[in-house]
């Protein structure tokens, strides 16, 4: 007879073999060419784009909209740097995109959403789909039109069947996760009356906190993003009506006023936030945090204590959302960033869990009102189910470029 551990590992191996056979499920790109006439364009003036895999069976009138992540650009120089790659131009986007995790097409790995209409909206504006500046400088040909891109793509999807949606989930990872919060109520307003509409933010709950040198680095950065893109008028009015618009880019100030149910999936030690908000390179000139940011196991006791302080600030910033009964929370203690798009995080035998419940089940139970889910993990390093990220030299993106 095989013991329990052997059974478990056999299950893991078999599941991984099945996953490897199904991995690489690619979906073709669709360009919204009629959006150009509306000025709804990427940074370089090219048309916006999305990938749609049609639903089937019971999911034919259900829609999952995933907003792609990819950081932001906060000035002319950083926006010019994006203009000639996939984050600023649809001309440089691959013709196909792999779908997995919550976008997966197999019931075994995505039991509650696999047969929905599943969409990824490509990200090419650098403002979490909030910018709208009419003028275009002929010297740079930069178009700050993220809010127009958002509206044009949603209108195209409505014409292609989403106007009949019975269930709809707006989701996003990182900069896309922030966008899913900022556009949550407007998304619901565009859906049919009577549809169940909710939003999921994965690794998009960026907090306003000073860095290790005591500087408000991330506030200054996001303030530059908003000023560059003219984003203020496209942030939730429920927030901008009573505070500075730059503050409303942070979910801790804007999310509590949003009426549509939101699920926050985030690590309290989000690796992007640790690297770019808590210990950005510009305020760590001697590289004291370099090894720690690359692998949490290389952090000193003092650095871990500082990260515990960041966790405390994160949980405090989350309080406004967590106090709502309609909200969902899956806040674990993994050193990672984005946990819905990768199959190994979303639903596998060894996926991260809270109270033995994987992310896929927590989100689905909340969406379908089967049971509420608001769980916050114990502090690092208590969670043995974590898949902690380890970054090598080749994985060090330019600061703020990938989120």
Residue among 132, 156, 270, 284 flagged as catalytic:
270
Q: Which two tokens stand for residue 56?
A: 């089937």
79-91 residue pLDDT tens? 999 999 999 999 9
- CA atoms of 324 and 319, how far apart (whole Å): 9
- CA atoms of 303 and 391, how far apart (whole Å): 17
Whether the per-residue pLDDT at 179 is higher than 80: the answer is yes
Q: Which two tokens stand for residue 306?
A: 């500082």
* Lowest mean pLDDT, pick from 13-22, 216-225, 307-316, 325-334: 13-22
307-316: b or e for each residue (b if 16 or more CB lie within 10 Å)?
beebbebbee
> If pLDDT is split at 50, 70 and 90, which confidence band does 400 have?
low
The contacts of residue 372 (CB under 8 Å, 6+ apart) are 325, 328, 365, 366
Span 248-261, average pLDDT: 97
Span 353-367, average pLDDT: 98
Residue among 105, 183, 229, 337 flagged as catalytic:
337
Amino acid 30: pLDDT? 98
E strand spans, 105-248: 117-121, 167-173, 196-202
Beta strand 167-173 with 262-267 is unpaired
- CA atoms of 51 and 118, how far apart (whole Å): 8
Q: Which two tokens stand for residue 379?
A: 């502090």
> If pLDDT is split at 50, 70 and 90, which confidence band does 403 have?
low
Amino acid 349: pLDDT? 97
304: left (phi over 0), alpha (psi -120 to 50) or beta: alpha
Q: Does residue 240 sit in helix, strand or coil? A: helix
Amino acid 324: pLDDT? 82
| Active site annotation includes 3 | no
Amino acid 9: pLDDT? 42
Span 375-394, average pLDDT: 91
105-139 residue pLDDT tens? 999 999 999 999 999 999 999 999 999 999 999 99
Whether the per-residue pLDDT at 11 is higher than 50: the answer is no
Span 145-157, average pLDDT: 98
In this prediction the pTM is 0.93
Amino acid 394: pLDDT? 47
| Active site annotation includes 56 | no
Tell me what percent of the residues of the chain surpass a pLDDT of 90: 89
Q: Are 249 and 292 in contact (CB under 8 A)?
A: no
- Give, in order, the Cα–Cα distances in Å from 354 to each of 217, 250, 332: 32, 26, 7
Whether the per-residue pLDDT at 323 is higher than 80: the answer is no
Amino acid 24: pLDDT? 58
- CA atoms of 203 and 314, how far apart (whole Å): 12
- CA atoms of 154 and 143, how far apart (whole Å): 19
Whether the per-residue pLDDT at 392 is higher than 70: the answer is yes
Q: Does residue 186 sit in helix, strand or coil? A: helix
| Active site annotation includes 174 | yes
58-71 residue pLDDT tens? 999 999 999 999 99
Phi, psi at residue 175, to the nearest 5°? Answer: -60, -30
> If pLDDT is split at 50, 70 and 90, which confidence band does 22 have?
very low
Residue among 174, 231, 271, 327 flagged as catalytic:
174
């Amino acid at each position: 007879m095989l013991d329990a551990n052997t059974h478990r590992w056999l299950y893991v191996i078999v599941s991984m073999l099945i996953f490897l056979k199904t991995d690489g499920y690619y979906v073709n790109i669709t360009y919204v060419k009629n959006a150009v006439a509306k000025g709804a364009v990427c940074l370089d003036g090219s048309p916006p784009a999305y990938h749609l895999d049609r639903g089937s069976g019971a999911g034919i009138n259900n829609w999952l909209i995933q907003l792609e992540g990819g950081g932001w650009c906060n000035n002319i120089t950083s926006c010019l740097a994006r203009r000639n790659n996939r984050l600023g131009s649809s001309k440089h986007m691959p013709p196909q995109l792999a779908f997995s995790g919550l976008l997966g097409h197999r019931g075994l790995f995505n039991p509650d959403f696999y047969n929905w209409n599943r969409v990824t909206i490509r990200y090419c504006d650098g403002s979490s789909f909030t910018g709208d500046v009419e003028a275009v400088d002929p010297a740079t040909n930069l178009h700050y039109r993220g809010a127009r891109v958002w509206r044009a793509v949603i209108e195209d999807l409505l014409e292609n069947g989403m106007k009949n949606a019975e269930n709809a989930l707006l989701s996003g990872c990182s900069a896309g996760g922030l966008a899913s919060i900022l556009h949550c109520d407007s998304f619901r307003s565009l859906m049919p009356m009577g549809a169940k509409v909710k939003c999921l933010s994965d690794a998009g709950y960026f907090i306003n906190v000073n860095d290790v040198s005591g500087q408000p680095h991330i506030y200054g950065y996001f303030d530059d993003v908003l000023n560059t893109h003219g984003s203020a008028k496209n942030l939730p009015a429920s927030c901008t009506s009573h505070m500075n618009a730059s503050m409303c880019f942070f979910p801790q100030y804007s999310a509590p006023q949003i009426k549509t149910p939101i699920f926050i999936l985030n690590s309290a030690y989000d690796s992007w936030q640790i690297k770019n908000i808590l210990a950005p390179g510009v305020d760590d000139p001697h590289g004291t945090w370099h090894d720690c940011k690359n692998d949490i196991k290389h952090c000193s006791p003092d650095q871990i204590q500082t990260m515990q302080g960041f966790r405390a600030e994160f949980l405090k910033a989350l309080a406004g959302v967590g106090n709502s009964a309609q909200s969902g929370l899956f806040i674990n203690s993994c050193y990672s960033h984005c946990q819905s798009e990768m199959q190994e995080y979303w639903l596998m035998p060894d996926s991260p869990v809270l109270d033995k419940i994987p992310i896929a089940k927590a989100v689905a139970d909340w969406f379908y009102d089967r049971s509420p889910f608001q769980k916050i993990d114990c502090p690092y390093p208590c969670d043995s189910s974590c898949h902690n990220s380890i970054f090598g030299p080749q994985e060090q993106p330019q600061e703020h470029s990938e989120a």
